[in-house]
Amino acid sequence: MDSTLRKQIQECNWQVVNVTTPANYFHVLRRQIHREFRKPLIVMAPKNMLRHKDCKSNLSEFDDVQGHAGFDKQGTRFKRLIKDQNNHSDLLEDAEIVWCQEEPMNMGAFYYISPRLYTTVRALGRGTIDDIKYVGRAPSAASATGFYSVHVKEQTELVQKALQREPINF
């Protein structure tokens, strides 16, 4: 590691990470243990994604190997990019851009981030604002439904729609 980058990392007060699979979580904890220096570790990851059936890790992903960015273990290209304030991925040329949030459309970061995503998409020549898909709860005056069973059902539907081909449109 470059000495300037190492010094900059060491001078930070804490480390904030995002994990999307059990293997990511394992490697974050392993790195925390094996570092030459100690600092607080803040994990900002949605637990529901770690428990989701499609967010799992093969045993080989726990190895000390690095994969090729944009490819899974079978060598297939990713077809969709799911963005939210917690999950970050690299932009791929023919991947869809989907903004996913748990909050209602008028309460989360969507209205803040959508013009910025549009500017980025336009600068990259990737399309228009209509090419950015939204998956989340409909606009609402209340931040929650008030019923736990309804919340769990909505949450499950949101994750499924974010991972499937057809996002909801408002």
Q: Within a domain: residue 108?
A: yes
Predicted confidence band at 47 (pLDDT cuts at 50, 70, 90)?
low
Q: Looking at the structure, tell me whether residues 39 and 110 fall in a common domain.
A: no
Q: Looking at the structure, tell me whether residues 50 and 72 fall in a common domain.
A: no
Say if CB 98 and CB 130 are below 8 A apart. no
Helix or strand or coil: residue 96?
A: strand
Q: Which residue has the higher pLDDT, 38 or 70?
A: 38
Q: Looking at the structure, tell me whether residues 80 and 46 fall in a common domain.
A: no
* Local structure of residue 129 (DSSP, 8 states): G
Say if CB 122 and CB 128 are below 8 A apart. yes
Is it the case that residue 95 has pLDDT exceeding 60?
Answer: yes
Two structure tokens written together for 135: 């998956």
User: What is the total count of domains within the chain?
Assistant: 2
Q: Which residue has the higher pLDDT, 77 or 26?
A: 26
Q: Could you tell me the CA-to-CA distances from 169 to 14, 40, 117, 121, 166 in Å, in that order?
A: 38, 40, 17, 19, 9
How many C-beta atoms surround the C-beta of residue 129 within 10 A? Answer: 12
Q: Within a domain: residue 112?
A: yes
Average pLDDT over residues 94-117: 83
Q: Provide the β-strand partners of residue 104.
A: 137
Note down the domain range covering 44.
1-54
Q: Looking at the structure, tell me whether residues 26 and 73 fall in a common domain.
A: no
Res 165: pLDDT: 64
Q: Looking at the structure, tell me whether residues 44 and 72 fall in a common domain.
A: no
Q: Looking at the structure, tell me whether residues 87 and 158 fall in a common domain.
A: yes
Q: Within a domain: residue 77?
A: yes
Least confident of 47-51, 98-102, 105-109: 47-51
Say if CB 88 and CB 46 are below 8 A apart. no
Q: Looking at the structure, tell me whether residues 90 and 143 fall in a common domain.
A: yes
Res 90: pLDDT: 46
Is it the case that residue 158 has pLDDT exceeding 60?
Answer: yes
**Alpha helices per DSSP H over the chain:** 3-11, 22-34, 47-50, 110-123, 148-163
Res 20: pLDDT: 79
Reported as a single tens digit per residue, the pLDDT across 132-156 is: 888 888 898 887 788 889 888 988 8
CA distance 15 to 71: 27
Res 13: pLDDT: 74
Q: Looking at the structure, tell me whether residues 41 and 123 fall in a common domain.
A: no
CA distance 158 to 170: 14
Q: Which residue has the higher pLDDT, 151 or 96?
A: 151
Helix or strand or coil: residue 105?
A: coil
Global confidence as pTM: 0.47
Amino acid making up residue 113:
I
Res 82: pLDDT: 56
Is it the case that residue 63 has pLDDT exceeding 70?
Answer: no
